[in-house]
């Protein structure tokens, strides 16, 4: 490899270290099965107390392991899932967190694990998970990695850092053969990007870019084809040899070509080391114990299968001699010569060679490290360089997701225009006082609501950051500062267009100084609130916890801004919130900026008396305005500010305080971000729902009693024949032929049309097990998606037929499709998932009990009975990868597919035994008449022999072979041998032919053209035509029932709703969050507005406590939407495409399942709020208010769901929320009273605003008949003209415009005292609530809005639901 030699010249440093481990024992908390509480069981305090006192048992994950991997050596760690391979790799890469106890020593060179902490960038582990920003391209992802690992001192032949970096990037991309994907997005399950195998290779080269010394690779070939897996291992071998690296790799399904590249092998079984020694002696050691390894078998699979009674083969005469357990094999190994020989290496850390290597390693790391970094720093690039790289990536993330960025800016501009027009040209008199304050409050509030999306962002970015932290790419502070650096221009632009529109439309003070003060304070407050919510995201480990606190924070900051409840009126127990509220300082500063040095005239309701007969200001007075002097008709802005406890002199002090809070939040974010741990640190465990605990216990007892019979495999052949008969009885026997002809699939890309499938043809007959193979990115998954009618984009040309006829309407549910990604409802149990699929997909004429009986059959066939009552969960807390794969297959099988079964990578990520079991099971299905088509990576020779036919694709979706495989692949070998590529004896034909077609043996030959010129191609075309014509001339093998869905809509709704109900019942985090948010916000609202009195000021407090009720929505919606979108993604990814049930049933189930919790939430909020604010206790009013509170729960839930129904992702939804909620809040008649709303808006948006009617109805029920008693300072006090009593002077006024005011001293001849209102109904009249029946009218309208919001969920879900593409 000349590139490696060049790369070595580029590195020029000592990186030899080696790793030695002795007496290594690791224990974790014994959480083989943790209990998942439900909404009801979590309140069982007696059980909780008992459990808390119980001693937590520990489980041994690794038991007395030992080994030594010197520089230049490769160790292969083998073991079945759950054996402790990943834990061993974590310990050998110095990832020690998440375990209860670690005993023994691990030496890196001659460094202890503590001393090696500072070298985490050189001791790295590539985990099984692929964690990336999906919207970044492959090139951008590798750019970022290489920027952060450039040595400070470059080799002499490189002129610049960038030249060196680009050379490294080019070498990495070419080494894994993915240079062609540089401009393609990495993607994930839901963002289209590179193929699964290519994404795995991106993960590999990102890890390689660390320029480490010790590499631990955890199942790194998962998803790679056999040829690429071998090339990858050869590359690791070459890197290890050339650089003197230490490479430790755990692999599943390692072929013999891969196995032979290693120096040493370590075999684990249930944490016990049953073999550690030279690779070449491992097979002989096990064979000497009495086990047989076939020449065609994978040695790695043989080594891990010796303790499995159903897998191992025993030599004749050894039946009673062989060791049967891991302990027995370990005992023999401990006494062996191999163990004694290997022990001589364990003193390596004490050798002078290790000391010299370690010293050279430390010098070279220091030589590479930027001189500005501390000596103990694990990083390579200086802090400024880290920030620069993170800033570039941050902008690339924004640019990669342009839609979200544009939506945010457009929604901000639209909101500014709407708000500006709402507060348009506010008067400078007392009538404009409240309006201008409202505009300023809204400008601050809207940007705060937008900042809430940072919480969602924080959790989506966390896994990637944890991975990069482990690679020592950058300090978390660099990431946080980069986010801020990326924020500044974006927020400057966002705040600028927002403030320009609002400021001049509202008509705030027209001076440059005032405008720029307004602008800089709004910008500062936005930066501060963004930092606050980012800090919340960093502090909490769960999204539910963070969303709970963010909901409370947004309410607290808005209520204690001093807009709703003025500073002097705040209760002493909560006034401290005002002093720690950044928004309060912003509001203070902007309001002081606006009203300083202004004179404000009293007008309208604030001037008593008023009218044509009352024009002499000597006999008038201001009333109901803070800061006004009784007997005067105008007042100064500074007096108004003083009444709020504000002062213009504090504007820039407040500005400084906002930035101090910003700095505090940034520091908190950095501190807590630095504590984030890799999520994969937790070891996996099963989750049992509390209500199923008894069932699990029973099953375990049964299994124990059956253990002996299970291990006795003497009559396995008879069992197998019986099993086959059983399957034959149960399955629908397929008689249909599935064909595809001249199939071409084209997609649009920025660079033009791209052909992913090129003229592909073939067939699957009943009883046939077909393999679909090719290198990564050859189009295997694409072909399956097209055949199974799963594509919603692109153009499909050609024909796909069943029995020579076009596909029927029921095809998608009649064909089973096991996708590569195991997408399931995490809170369902295995049995529930299988029953759900069986009930919805088996034909409607089959009785329910028969469907459920068939589920039992599949559970037994797939050996799922031991986990049938456990939750699916997520990887790490739930089923393992292998168990999830079996479940995915089961979900399709219980549907009784009548045409054929597609499986995409069913063996990917499984160990050799599990892969063989699955393929053997598929073979059984085919033998009883089922048609099966499978894409498969890295099949062993024995696995490959199970298949009947092969469709082999090369890059670009071109066919290079279709036909029989033959006995021991004889037909296939003959074909390739005929064209100059014979398969060497003893090699795996599956690996060989992939290598020939697209690997190192391709020699640049065009195998597509060879295929087109071959007699096999001519036979395929003729046979395909014959099959189609023959099938079309006969009655169809499968009769279409004419139904798109197997079950009627009502049955779908019942079954889906039941699943949603059970899921929510078990989702205690979500439900508790919902309950807690309501209790805390209601108590907060209640105690903020504690025991409201009956003065004019108290009328406003009544209005604002009702208005504050609205703000329970943002927090709950922000939590509700990710759950909705998560479920929608499950539906769209798998269930919709298999025609399991209609989108109508999906929406209905989601809506109905929330209802019980919404009722409880309404009760909780009402009980905690209504009586604390001292609203009327009469049942007619209290009951009516509760009904409105209940309706609002349904209203905002419907709104949150219809936004989520159409939103592409949760972040997008969290950005649309402020636009919709902000608009509704603006026009509900609180921020701007009805009479002052601009005519354009007043006559339509005001009347279609549900918040208007919700607030109006509660105000009517709680205020209409309440008396109003003005406080002394709220009275209008003035003298009547000489010789008149107050009653005589005000007679005309009291008969006209002042008819709703109260004169307290009609006979007085001086100091007339007038209260603006007599009772609540007088105030309500001014806000367009003219009679008590308006309350019930508004209730009826709110009901209509609730129905409308739920209708919109259906409508928007329908608009989003795309039909799948059919062949044209």
* CA gyration radius, the chain: 36
Q: Residue length, the chain?
A: 1368
Structure confidence at residue 528 (pLDDT): 93
Which regions in the chain score pLDDT beneath 50? 1-12, 680-682, 697-721
Nearest to 506 by CA among 579, 443, 414: 443
User: Which DSSP helix (H) or strand (E) runs through 874?
Assistant: strand 873-874
The answer to whether the beta carbons of residues 634 and 601 sit under 8 Å apart is yes
The helix/strand/coil state of 958 is: strand
Tens of pLDDT, residue by residue over 774-789, are 877 788 888 888 888 8
The helix/strand/coil state of 870 is: coil
Nearest to 862 by CA among 924, 820, 904, 784: 924
Half-sphere exposure of 163 (CA within 13 A, CB side): 8
Sequence-ordered alpha helix ranges (H) in 1170-1290: 1179-1206, 1210-1226, 1239-1242, 1250-1263, 1286-1289
Running DSSP on this structure, what letter comes out for residue 1331? S
Tens of pLDDT, residue by residue over 1066-1098, are 888 888 888 988 998 899 888 888 888 888 888
Structure confidence at residue 6 (pLDDT): 47
The helix/strand/coil state of 771 is: strand
Half-sphere exposure of 280 (CA within 13 A, CB side): 1
Interacting residues of 816 by C-beta distance below 8 A, sequence separation 6+: 892, 893, 895, 897, 900, 901, 902, 1138
Please, what is the end-to-end C-alpha distance for the chain in angstroms? 47
Q: CA 606 to CA 609: how far, in whole Å?
A: 9
Strands of the sheet containing 264-269, edge to edge, are 101-108, 19-29, 58-69, 272-278, 264-269, 74-78, 246-250, 214-218, 123-126
962 φ/ψ angles, rounded to the nearest 5 degrees: -145, 125
Q: CA 1219 to CA 410: how far, in whole Å?
A: 10
The answer to whether the beta carbons of residues 14 and 361 sit under 8 Å apart is yes
Q: CA 506 to CA 422: how far, in whole Å?
A: 8
Please tell me the pTM assigned to this model. Answer: 0.77
Q: CA 97 to CA 26: how far, in whole Å?
A: 11
Letter string b/e over residues 296-326, b meaning 16 or more CB atoms within 10 A of that residue's CB:
ebbbbbbbbbbbeeebbebeeeeeeebbeeb
User: Which DSSP helix (H) or strand (E) runs through 139?
Assistant: helix 138-147
Structure confidence at residue 158 (pLDDT): 76
Structure confidence at residue 1210 (pLDDT): 78
Q: Is the peptide bond before 1220 cis (omega within 30 degrees of 0)?
A: no
User: Which DSSP helix (H) or strand (E) runs through 977?
Assistant: helix 970-978
Other Cβ atoms less than 10 A from the Cβ of 981: the count is 20
Other Cβ atoms less than 10 A from the Cβ of 645: the count is 13
Q: CA 1055 to CA 832: how far, in whole Å?
A: 11
Structure confidence at residue 1308 (pLDDT): 86
Q: In whole angstroms, how far apart are CA 1207 and each of 838, 1070, 1194, 1212, 1236?
A: 31, 20, 20, 6, 35
Sign of the dihedral through C-alpha 352, 354, 355, 357: positive
């Amino acid at each position: 490899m000349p590139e490696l030699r060049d790369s070595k010249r580029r590195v020029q440093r000592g990186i030899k270290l080696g790793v030695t481990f002795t007496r290594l024992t690791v224990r974790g908390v014994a959480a083989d099965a943790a209990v998942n509480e439900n909404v009801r069981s979590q309140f069982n305090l007696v059980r909780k107390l008992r459990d808390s006192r119980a001693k937590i048992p520990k489980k041994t994950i690794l038991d007395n392991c030992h080994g030594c991997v010197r520089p230049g050596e490769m160790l292969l760690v083998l073991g079945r899932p759950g054996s402790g391979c990943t834990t061993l790799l974590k310990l050998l890469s110095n990832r020690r967190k998440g375990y209860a106890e670690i005993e023994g020593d691990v030496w890196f060179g001659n460094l202890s694990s503590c001393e090696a902490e500072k070298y985490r960038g050189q001791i790295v582990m590539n985990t099984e998970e692929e964690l990336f920003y999906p919207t970044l391209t492959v090139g951008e992802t590798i750019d970022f990695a290489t920027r952060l690992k450039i040595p400070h001192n470059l080799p002499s032949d490189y002129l610049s850092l960038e030249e060196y970096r680009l050379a490294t990037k080019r070498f990495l991309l070419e080494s894994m053969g993915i240079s062609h994907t540089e401009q393609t997005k990495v993607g994930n399950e839901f963002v289209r990007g590179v193929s699964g195998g290519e994404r795995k290779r991106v993960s590999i080269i990102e890890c390689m870019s660390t320029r480490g010394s010790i590499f631990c690779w955890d199942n790194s070939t998962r998803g790679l084809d056999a040829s690429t897996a071998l090339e990858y291992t050869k590359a690791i071998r070459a890197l290890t040899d050339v650089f003197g690296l230490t490479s430790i790799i755990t692999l599943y399904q390692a072929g013999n070509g891969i196995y032979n590249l290693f120096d040493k092998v370590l075999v684990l079984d249930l944490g016990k080391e049953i073999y550690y020694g030279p690779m070449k002696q491992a097979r002989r050691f096990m064979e000497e114990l009495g086990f047989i390894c076939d020449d065609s078998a994978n040695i790695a699979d043989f080594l891990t299968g010796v303790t499995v009674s159903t897998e191992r083969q025993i030599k004749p005469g050894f039946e009673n001699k062989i060791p049967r357990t891991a302990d027995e094999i370990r005992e023999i190994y401990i006494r062996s010569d191999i163990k004694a020989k290997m022990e001589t290496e364990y003193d390596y850390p004490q050798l002078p060679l290790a000391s010299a290597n370690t010293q050279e390693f430390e010098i070279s790391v220091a030589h590479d490290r930027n001189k500005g970094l501390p000596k103990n720093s694990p990083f390579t690039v200086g802090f400024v360089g880290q920030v620069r790289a993170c800033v570039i990536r941050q902008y690339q993330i924004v640019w990669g997701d342009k839609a979200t960025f544009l939506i945010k800016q457009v929604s901000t501009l639209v909101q500014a225009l709407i708000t500006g027009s709402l507060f348009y040209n506010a008067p400078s008199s007392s009538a404009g006082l409240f309006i201008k304050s409202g505009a300023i409050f809204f400008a601050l509030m809207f940007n705060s609501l937008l900042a809430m999306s940072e919480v969602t962002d924080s959790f989506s970015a966390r896994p990637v950051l944890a991975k990069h932290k482990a690679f020592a790419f950058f300090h978390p502070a660099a990431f946080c500062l980069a986010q801020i650096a990326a924020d500044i221009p974006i927020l400057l632009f966002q705040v600028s267009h927002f403030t320009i529109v609002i400021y001049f439309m509202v008509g705030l003070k027209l001076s440059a100084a005032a405008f720029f003060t307004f602008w800089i304070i709004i910008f500062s407050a936005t930066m501060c609130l963004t930092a606050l919510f980012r800090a919340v995201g960093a502090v909490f480990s769960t999204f539910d916890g963070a969303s709970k606190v963010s909901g409370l924070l947004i309410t607290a900051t808005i209520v204690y801004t001093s807009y709703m409840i003025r500073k002097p009126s705040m209760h002493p127990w909560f006034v401290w919130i005002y002093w720690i509220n950044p928004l309060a300082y912003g509001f203070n500063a902007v309001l002081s900026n606006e009203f300083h040095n202004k004179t404000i005239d009293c007008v309208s309701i604030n001037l008593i008396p008023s009218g044509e007969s009352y024009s002499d200001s000597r006999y008038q007075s201001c009333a109901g305005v803070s800061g006004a002097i009784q007997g005067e008709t105008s007042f100064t802005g500074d007096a108004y500010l003083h009444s709020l406890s504000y002062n213009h002199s504090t504007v820039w002090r407040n500005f400084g305080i906002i930035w101090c809070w910003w700095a505090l939040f940034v520091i908190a974010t950095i501190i807590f971000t630095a504590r984030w741990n890799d999520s994969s640190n937790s070891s996996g465990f099963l989750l049992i729902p509390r209500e199923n605990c008894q069932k699990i216990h029973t099953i375990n007892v049964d299994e124990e009693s059956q253990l002996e019979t299970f291990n006795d495999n003497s009559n396995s052949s008879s069992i197998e024949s019986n099993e086959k008969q059983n399957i034959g009885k149960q399955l629908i026997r397929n008689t249909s032929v599935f064909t595809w002809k001249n199939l071409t699939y084209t997609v649009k890309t920025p660079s033009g049309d791209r052909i992913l499938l090129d003229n592909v043809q073939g067939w699957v007959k009943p009883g046939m097990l077909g393999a679909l193979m090719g290198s990564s990115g050859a189009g295997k998954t694409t072909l399956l998606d097209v055949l199974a009618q799963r594509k919603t984009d692109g153009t499909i040309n050609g024909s796909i037929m069943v029995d020579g006829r076009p596909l029927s309407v029921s095809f998608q549910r009649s064909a089973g499709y096991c996708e590569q990604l195991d997408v399931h409802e995490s809170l369902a149990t295995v049995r529930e998932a299988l029953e759900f699929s069986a009930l919805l997909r088996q034909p409607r004429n089959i009785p329910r009990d028969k469907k459920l009986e068939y589920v039992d059959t599949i559970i037994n066939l797939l050996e799922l009975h031991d986990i049938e009552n456990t939750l699916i969960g997520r990887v790490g807390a739930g089923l393992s990868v292998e168990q999830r794969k079996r479940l995915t297959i089961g979900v399709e099988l219980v549907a009784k597919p009548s045409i054929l079964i597609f499986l995409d990578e069913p063996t990917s990520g499984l160990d050799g035994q599990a892969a063989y079991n699955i393929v053997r099971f598929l073979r059984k299905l085919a033998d009883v008449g089922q048609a099966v088509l499978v894409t498969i990576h890295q099949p062993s020779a024995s696995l490959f022999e199970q298949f009947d036919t092969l469709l082999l694709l090369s890059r670009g979706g071109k066919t290079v072979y279709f036909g029989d495989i033959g006995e021991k692949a004889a037909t296939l070998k003959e074909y390739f041998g005929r064209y100059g590529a014979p398969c060497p004896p003893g090699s795996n034909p599956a690996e060989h032919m992939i290598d020939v077609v697209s690997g190192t043996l391709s020699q640049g030959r065009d195998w597509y053209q060879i295929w087109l010129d071959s007699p096999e191609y001519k036979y395929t075309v003729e046979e395909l035509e014959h099959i189609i014509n023959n099938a079309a001339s006969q009655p169809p093998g499968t009769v279409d029932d004419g139904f798109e869905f197997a079950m009627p809509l009502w049955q779908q709704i019942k079954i889906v709703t039941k699943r949603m109900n059970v899921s929510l019942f078990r989702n205690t985090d979500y439900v508790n969050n919902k309950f807690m948010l309501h209790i805390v916000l209601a108590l907060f609202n209640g105690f903020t507005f504690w025991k409201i009195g009956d003065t004019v000021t108290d009328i406003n407090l009544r209005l604002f406590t009702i208005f504050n009720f609205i703000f329970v929505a943002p927090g709950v919606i922000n939590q509700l939407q990710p759950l909705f979108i998560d479920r929608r993604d499950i539906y769209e990814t798998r269930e919709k495409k298999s025609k399991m049930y209609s989108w109508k049933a999906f929406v209905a189930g989601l809506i109905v399942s929330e209802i019980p919790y919404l009722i409880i939430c309404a009760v909780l909020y009402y009980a905690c709020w209504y009586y604390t604010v001292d609203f009327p206790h009469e049942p007619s009013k209290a009951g009516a208010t509760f009904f409105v509170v209940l309706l609002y729960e349904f209203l905002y839930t419907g709104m949150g769901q219809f936004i989520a129904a159409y939103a592409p992702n949760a972040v997008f939804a969290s950005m649309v929320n402020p636009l919709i909620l902000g608009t509704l809040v603006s026009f509900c008649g609180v921020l701007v009273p009805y009479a002052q709303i601009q005519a354009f808006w007043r006559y339509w948006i005001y009347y279609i605003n549900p918040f208007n009617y919700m607030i109006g109805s509660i105000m009517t029920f709680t205020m209409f008949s309440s008396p109003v008693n003005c406080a002394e300072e709220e009275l209008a006090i003035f003298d009547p003209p000489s010789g008149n009593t107050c009653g005589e002077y005000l007679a005309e006024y009291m008969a006209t415009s002042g008819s709703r005011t109260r004169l307290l001293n009609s006979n007085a001849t001086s100091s007339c005292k007038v209260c603006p209102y007599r009772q609540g109904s007088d105030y309500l009249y001014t806000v367009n609530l003219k009679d008590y029946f308006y309350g019930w009218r508004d209730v009826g309208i709110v009901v209509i809005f609730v129905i409308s919001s739920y209708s919109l969920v259906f409508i928007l879900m329908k608009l989003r639901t795309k039909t799948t593409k059919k062949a044209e």
